[in-house]
Amino acid sequence: MGVQLKELVEGSEISIGSLGGKKIAIDAFNTLYQFITIIRQRDGTPLMDSRGRITSHLSGVLYRTAKLMESGVRPCFVFDGKPPEFKLAIRDRKEAKREAEKKLEEARRKGDLEGIRKYSERAAKLEDYMIEDSKKLLSLMGIPWVQAPSEGEAQAAYMAISGDVWAVGSQDFDSLLFGAPRLVRNLTITGRRKLPYKNAYIEVTPKLLDLQRTLDSLNIDRKQLICLGILVGTDFNPGGIRGIGPKKGLELVREKGCKALGEFEWSPEWPSAEEILEFFLNPPITEKYELEWKEPDTEGMVDLLVGRHDFSEDRVRKVAKNLEEAMKRGRQVGLEQFFR
């Protein structure tokens, strides 16, 4: 879910082409969840192989990541590690998933196609095998991935702060609270997209948010941005303070700073505001990671996707060939820049 700040920090539209040559750390869990939610069959159910295993995430990793590479983007994926003990949203999400699963079964019994589509999306969840298969496929594609010790967005933000990547790619705004200098939204879902529960489509384009420009436009500092997020609600205190939306929260932190957090009744289920603030300021991260883009292992990709998950061999080999060409172009651009 992440902190909800869209009303205040919309970002500016950019083209995929403008990101050519830039390394971007992608929030893996956020992106894989987008894939299993968006990439679906006509009846709303996820893509599956002949043994009933979901493959929407693999389809997204294969085709959409390859498209980024072909556009000159150098993506790396950052996977969540152990969540902090106080991450209440995990429990809340599990309860919501269980409720959606009940309604999905009811819709199936009634033959309600719209209900099946709606509740299939709400019941979507990342299983361990999906995460492991995604890591395996990325390695075979020659795309680096990083295992975070805790929150993936915190690790990705650290990598951007360190200059090892140019930006973080995620739908959530949390990486800005973690200090990422730049956030790119809609990176892996760019293109024509069906609106949820409607027979209508929109064109989705990437949006760039610059942290310093965002802070300047809101007339607050990063610590106050975190406190604004806590007022509105984070994954660590879902829902935030009742009656406090982004605009009201902004007024409060402008007037009172983070002291505003102490003026409201705090749910006993939440960690303290100080704990949440400290986590955003000093999250667990690792400095041990390597970002190296390699030639794809075509036969390994065929074995995983075709042999185990019924993908089209022709399409998989075509993607592998496109990846090889993208890698060559990337190396050539790097050499040209080196000799300038």
Domain at 190, CATH number = 3.40.50.1010
200, with CB counted inside 10 A (0-12, 13-18, 19+), is exposed
What pTM does this model have? 0.86
Among 6-15, 155-164, 199-208, name the most confident range: 155-164
Spatial neighbors of 110 by CB under 8 A, at least 6 apart, are none
Nearest residue to 188 (alpha-carbon basis) of 6, 29, 12: 29
Domain with residue 226: its CATH number is 1.10.150.20
Q: Say if residue 93 is in the same domain as residue 33.
A: yes
- Of 176, 169, 150, residue with least CA distance to 234: 176
Sheet holding 145-147, edge to edge: 12-13, 207-210, 182-185, 167-169, 23-27, 74-79, 145-147
Residues whose CB is less than 8 angstroms from the CB of residue 13 and which lie 6 or more positions away in sequence, other chains included: 205, 206, 207, 208
Tell me, what's the pLDDT at 337? 40
Q: What pLDDT, on the 0 to 100 scale, is given for residue 119?
A: 47
Are residues 226 and 270 both part of a single domain? Answer: yes
Give me the mean pLDDT over the 185-199 stretch: 68
**Mean pLDDT for the stretch of residues 163-174:** 95
Domain coverage including residue 233: 220-282
Q: Does pLDDT of 340 surpass 80?
A: no
Q: What per-residue confidence (pLDDT) applies to 329?
A: 83
In this structure, the answer to whether residues 207 and 225 fall within a common structural domain is no
Q: Is residue 264 part of a domain?
A: yes
Q: What percent of the chain has pLDDT over 70?
A: 82
Amino acid identity for residue 33 in this structure:
Y
Looking at the structure, tell me whether residues 201 and 226 fall in a common domain.
no
Cα distance between residue 83 and residue 219, in whole Å: 32
**What does the pLDDT average to over 230-253?**
91
Q: Identify whether 292 is part of a domain.
A: no
Q: What residues does 147 pair with on adjacent strands?
A: 79
